Amino acid sequence: KKTPLIAPSLLAANFLEIGKEVEMVNNSAADWLHLDVMDGRFVPNISFGFPVITPVTKLSRKVNDVHLMIEEPEKYAEAFAKAGAHILTVHIEACHHLHRNIQQIKSLGMKAGVALNPHTSVSLLENIITDADVILIMSVNPGFGGQHFIEQTYTKIRKLRELIDASGSKALIEIDGGVTVDNARGILDAGADVLVAGNTVFASRDPQATILALKQ
């Protein structure tokens, strides 16, 4: 049985206690800290920006995994590097020049991630699969936490696993949206490497125990 990387999503945290929430993650078995940036254009919601991200990454001792749900992400890549992002993930649907965007992110010293909405086919990754460090499959429509996991995602994960293995790509498969302790095993068995979890972690009675449960 393989052990997944766990990436708690700060979107579900209590923002009045944000320092304590980051320390909780620091002192947990989590591997990455997932930061969701929404612009109100690419997705029908607005989350947080640099005034939140910069102090959070200063406090964080985990890999800072920034998920951009924004139009024109190339305009902000440098600012996110300066704000402490280690992994910068852009949506394929928001990029006219994805290959260039990936090279830009890497040239800024970050790992490059590519995210796919639920309707987007894994086959579109064929020509950049060896360039990307992370592929993030959205298992809900992006914009909000606390939604239900879309079952079709299992098929997408299996297809992506095949594509990655056949190409010799080292990309990690990250699953984002509706991940629970109950469905984690099935997601991993389909071929995922990284599990994002917002409400499952932060709304639980013992978030650190829940992170451990997700890892097992």
Interface positions, 63-92, toward ligand DX5 (CB under 6 A): 67
Segment interacting with Zn ion (CB under 5 A) among 28-36, 37-45, 75-83, 165-173: 28-36
* Residue 40 annotated in ligand binding: no
Q: Residues in contact with Zn ion, total (CB under 5 A)?
A: 3
Torsion 172-173-177-181 (CA) sign: negative
Is residue 176 a contact point for ligand DX5 (CB under 6 A)? Answer: yes
Pair 142, 126: CB distance under 8 Å: no
| The one among 21, 65, 174, 176 contacting Zn ion by CB under 5 A | 176
Q: Which of 36, 65, 133, 193 is catalytic?
A: 36
* Residue 9 annotated in ligand binding: yes
* Residue 50 annotated in ligand binding: no
- CA distances 70 to 74, 134, 143, 144, Å, are 10, 18, 10, 14
Q: Which two tokens stand for residue 40?
A: 């109100």
Consecutive H or E run containing 64: strand 63-69
Given the rule CB under 6 A, which residues bind ligand DX5? Answer: 9, 11-12, 34, 36, 67, 140, 142-147, 176-179, 196-200
